Amino acid sequence: MNDQHGDNVHSAESVNSSVNKTIKPLYLKNSDLQIGDQTRMTDYDLMICVTKQIGDEVHCLQLDRNLWRIYLKTKDARTKLLSEGLNYKNITVSLYMYDTNPYLAGVNSPDQKTLKVRICGLPLSVDDSAVMELLDNLKIKPTSKIIYEKIRHPVTKRMTSVLNGTRFFYMNPLEEGKYLPRENTCAGLRVRLYHYGQPKVQRSLLCTNCWSDDHTRQFCRNESRCKVCKKEGHMPGDEQCDAFEIQTNITAFSGTGDILSNFFPCTFDVYGIKHQSAEHAFQYTKSIRCGDLETASKIKEAPDALSAKKLGDKVHENDQWRESKFAVMEVIIENKCVQMPMFKEKIRAAKRNTVFVETTFNGTWGSGLDRKGTVNTKQNMWLGKNKLGEIISKIAKKLRKRKKSDQWSRPKSKQNSKENTRQRDIAQMLRDLRMNSDTDSVSGYNASDTDSSEDAQPKAAATTQT
Ligand SMILES: [Zn+2]
Ligand SMILES: [Zn+2]
């Protein structure tokens, strides 16, 4: 407890120690109280009226111009009064109160619901017109003006006169299942929007039935559409699709049964750690590099690749990981390649123009389509970036420079039970593989097979072996 501030808190508390100031007031328009009554309502009249209904729970009744603020002692009393309304001067219909300040929120009747949206991270110097532009882009019509939040005491919640930079506004509630994106750009700056009901971890909204980006499948009322051409009545890969075309030069893969897939169970080392699949290796490295050691050790023990992925997906990505993950994936696939002869042979044997493609809905690593959709859709219409396929293609290219497939599967030294020898072998094999990306001809190997012509590009730093 900080004593300096502590004194102030205590003196403030001593005045009204029984009152919880974190309870928001209720609001009532004074004009609503005057119906059929000539005499002006006094605070005493209102006090008698409210007390009759909820007993000794009223803390303060304050009239400011046309607005009453009704402060209650408990949340229960507030909820009761808000839901029951006020039985006022024998008017048979109850008089309902406002949950938020109606003038601030821009509402005209107590049953008009509003949604409060906070705008965080925008410098105070940015003009409100930029905010209005952002709201316009999001198709939001605020019911209030843009309001500036003030710093409050952390315990008593009393408001100070100092701004905290956060702005907020009120709008009509969104349809069920819809919410505003948290990350936005305003005046070229990154800002965040927060409101009640917004999921904590936000996926970008996408309906997997009609592919609109403003709701989820659960709340979809549209006909289902093709993910590729967005037309109704067929699925990707069907002949009616605008993007239909049978792909003849692709090697499609997915799932635990396909050795090309990261989900295929196989034990190999990456960065000196033994993993049960490429997926395990990737998610483990992600967790380590993002500082989540606890998840990393769980991933290492995960019984299968899917479990490893689910664990890794929960790890919060940092910027460094976002930038390095493709390079890490390449290292992992290289390691799988030099340590798994079957994998290496499979990609080496593929034709030069083969396009490797992971047929998963993953928009980064796969085609974004299922198998049927992938093999029957023009490649430039695939929805995913197919990064995993690109990495495998790149490594396959290096491999094809070898005349014989097994030349570097086992370095000279016989495999030894000693761990450090094994690690040295892996390191040597990786060096051999990577060397092919820098030069066409490596001493001791013949790189003249026909496939290498397309790689006879800029020779990086000339080799020392000429
Ligand atoms: Zn939909
Ligand atoms: Zn289509």
Consecutive 10-residue runs of the chain (466 residues): their mean pLDDT? 44 51 86 70 87 90 92 91 79 75 89 92 94 93 94 87 95 87 87 87 77 81 92 94 95 95 96 95 96 95 96 90 94 95 93 94 93 96 95 92 53 59 86 69 37 39 38
Class of domain 115-195: alpha beta
Distance 215 CA to ligand 1 centre (A): 6
Strand boundaries in 129-224, DSSP class E: 147-152, 159-171, 183-186, 189-195
Q: Distance between CA atoms of 408 and 400, rounded to whole angstroms? A: 13
Strands of 189-195's sheet, edge to edge?
A: 147-152, 159-171, 115-120, 189-195, 183-186
Residue type, 23: I
Question: Do the beta carbons of residue 126 and residue 186 sit within 8 Å?
Answer: yes
Q: Distance between CA atoms of 236 and 244, rounded to whole angstroms? A: 8
Distance 220 CA to ligand 1 centre (A): 4
Residue labelled with tokens 């800002």: 191
- Residue 216's nearest CA partner among 175, 184, 183 is 175
The strand pairing partners of 163, in sequence order, are 150
**Predicted pLDDT at 246:** 96
Domain boundaries, the chain: 18-104, 115-195, 250-455
Distance 227 CA to ligand 1 centre (A): 11
Structure tokens, 243: 């993007």
Residue 178: nearest ligand to its CA? 1
Distance 204 CA to ligand 2 centre (A): 22
**Predicted pLDDT at 445:** 36
Distance 216 CA to ligand 1 centre (A): 6
Distance 218 CA to ligand 1 centre (A): 8
Q: How far is residue 304 CA from its own chain's centroid? A: 24
- Residue 100's nearest CA partner among 196, 223, 244 is 196
**Predicted pLDDT at 461:** 39
Q: Which pTM value belongs to this model? A: 0.55
**Predicted pLDDT at 458:** 41
Q: Distance between CA atoms of 120 and 114, rounded to whole angstroms? A: 19
Distance 361 CA to ligand 1 centre (A): 17
Distance 221 CA to ligand 1 centre (A): 6
Q: Distance between CA atoms of 316 and 318, rounded to whole angstroms? A: 7
Distance 213 CA to ligand 1 centre (A): 8
Distance 212 CA to ligand 1 centre (A): 5
Residue 241: nearest ligand to its CA? 2
Q: Distance between CA atoms of 268 and 381, rounded to whole angstroms? A: 35
The strand pairing partners of 335, in sequence order, are none
Which value, in Å, is the radius of gyration of the alpha carbons in the chain?
33
Residue 224: nearest ligand to its CA? 1
Residues 6 or more apart whose CB falls under 8 angstroms from that of 279 comprise 262, 263, 305, 306, 308, 309
Distance 230 CA to ligand 1 centre (A): 11
Residue 245: nearest ligand to its CA? 2
Q: Distance between CA atoms of 414 and 283, rounded to whole angstroms? A: 32
CATH classification code of 250-455: 1.10.357.40
The strand pairing partners of 185, in sequence order, are 190
- Per DSSP, 232 falls in state B
Q: Distance between CA atoms of 309 and 426, rounded to whole angstroms? A: 25
Distance 211 CA to ligand 1 centre (A): 6
Q: Domain 18-104 belongs to what topology?
A: Alpha-Beta Plaits (3.30.70)
Distance 183 CA to ligand 1 centre (A): 22
Residue 244: nearest ligand to its CA? 2
Q: Same topology for domains 18-104 and 115-195, yes or no? A: yes
Question: Do the beta carbons of residue 430 and residue 422 sit within 8 Å?
Answer: no
Distance 175 CA to ligand 1 centre (A): 13
Residue 214: nearest ligand to its CA? 1
Residue labelled with tokens 């060096």: 431
